[in-house]
């Protein structure tokens, strides 16, 4: 898979909904009902971060949910890429980008949404062919003003800002011409997941799915 193909695939995914839920799954038993609630609420693209021992099993469970498109976040190594692909991930997300990681995703035909925090990082990824990137950590790196400023000289790159994005600032990010969608964890609060309050999560997903974007 070429970087251009990966970017085209991820742009299509980013356009499916204004928010991609960023999920940290601690109990694999919650994976499928969580995915079902989010998809029912209008958020079909799900990112499961590889931060817990059950993350790969959670991807396997979520991949079986009709209408859902599950990806693996926090890809750091070629081994992560192989494991995520085997578990059924349809795309990958990384907090940054290294040549080894980019090559591993290209070799595995796993569309990668690579992370960038600066203009130089965005330019380097664009030079390789990645025109769709993750802006991370968004709020810590200056938030909406920073992303708007990066977009002025590098309009070819579109972003999915993640990190500190919330219901209060998501509309501001989505109003930017270089933002395709945002990533956020607020649609799956830990307390709601722990209680199995799938109705609340579906409601939050529906509100997120209705957010306007440019």
Q: What is the pLDDT of residue 214?
A: 83
Instruction: For 153-209, write each residue's pLDDT tens digit.
Output: 999 999 999 999 999 999 999 999 999 999 999 999 999 999 999 999 999 999 999
Tell me, yes or no, if 86 is annotated catalytic: no
Looking up residue 105, the CATH number of its domain turns out to be 3.20.20.70
Give me the number of domains the chain comprises.
1
Task: Give pTM, 2 decimals.
Answer: 0.96
Q: What percent of the chain has a predicted confidence (pLDDT) above 90?
A: 100
The catalytic position among 36, 90, 106, 134 is: 134
Q: What percent of the chain has a predicted confidence (pLDDT) above 70?
A: 100
Q: What residue spans of the chain are helical by DSSP H?
A: 3-14, 31-40, 55-62, 78-87, 99-108, 119-128, 143-151, 170-174, 190-195, 198-209
The mean pLDDT value of the chain amounts to 98
Q: What is the pLDDT of residue 59?
A: 98
**Residue span of the structural domain in which 103 resides:** 3-210
Tell me, yes or no, if 134 is annotated catalytic: yes
The catalytic position among 36, 47, 61, 106 is: 47
């Amino acid at each position: 898979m070429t970087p251009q193909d990966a970017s085209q695939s991820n742009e299509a995914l980013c356009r499916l909904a204004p928010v991609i839920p960023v999920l940290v799954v601690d109990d694999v038993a919650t994976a499928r009902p969580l995915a079902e609630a989010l998809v029912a609420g209008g958020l079909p693209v799900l990112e499961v971060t590889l931060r817990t021992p059950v993350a790969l099993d959670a991807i396997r469970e979520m991949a079986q949910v009709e209408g859902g498109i599950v990806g693996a976040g926090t890809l750091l190594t070629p081994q992560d890429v192989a494991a995520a692909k085997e578990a059924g991930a349809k795309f990958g997300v990384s907090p940054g980008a290294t040549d080894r990681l980019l090559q591993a995703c290209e070799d595995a035909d796993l569309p990668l949404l690579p992370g960038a925090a600066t203009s130089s990082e965005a330019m380097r990824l664009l030079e390789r062919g990645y025109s769709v990137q993750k802006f991370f950590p968004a709020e810590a790196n200056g938030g909406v003003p920073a992303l708007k400023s990066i977009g002025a000289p590098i309009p070819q790159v579109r972003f999915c800002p993640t990190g500190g994005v919330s219901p209060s600032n998501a509309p501001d990010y989505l109003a930017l011409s270089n933002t395709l969608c945002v990533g956020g964890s607020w649609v799956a609060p830990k307390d709601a997941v722990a209680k199995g309050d799938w109705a609340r999560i579906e409601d939050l997903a529906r509100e997120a799915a209705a957010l306007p974007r440019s």
